[in-house]
Amino acid sequence: MNYLKKQQFRKELLNNLTSDCKVNWFKIRANESIEHAILKFRKAYELVKLGHEVVIEAKFRSGGRADILDITDYKIFEVLHSEKLADAKKKVLKYPDYLEVEFLE
């Protein structure tokens, strides 16, 4: 994919998120466990150190909230600490189908 196409795709992807989503900002929710938050932070930190842009707790306008959205590689990371894989797979059905999903334990 050439640079212009990537920028157009990035813009479209960001437009599919709610307005409170910020790139490369760490966000935690009060109801998540510390273990979940730490796993999420470590993965996001690793991606940012590699030069990726990420959105933590990415909320899609169409519904659904991803733990980590890697805008650079068009990939979602879901942390499975307190969540079962079967429940996470149901959650993924709400995400745009052009995004790859990886589950982290």
Q: Would you list the domain boundaries of the chain? A: 3-104
pLDDT given for residue 66 in this prediction: 92
Q: How many percent of the chain have pLDDT more than 90? A: 41
User: Cα(2)–Cα(67) distance, rounded to whole angstroms?
Assistant: 28
Q: How many percent of the chain have pLDDT more than 70? A: 99
As a whole number, mean pLDDT of residues 85-96 equals 87
Instruction: Reply yes or no on whether the pLDDT at 1 is more than 70.
Output: no
pLDDT given for residue 69 in this prediction: 95
Contact call for residues 52 and 95 (beta carbons, < 8 A): no
Minimal CA–CA distance to 15: which of 67, 44, 43, 55?
55
**Across the strands, what pairs with 101?**
76
For the stretch 41-63, pLDDT in tens is 999 999 999 999 999 999 998 88
Q: What is the mean pLDDT of the chain?
A: 88
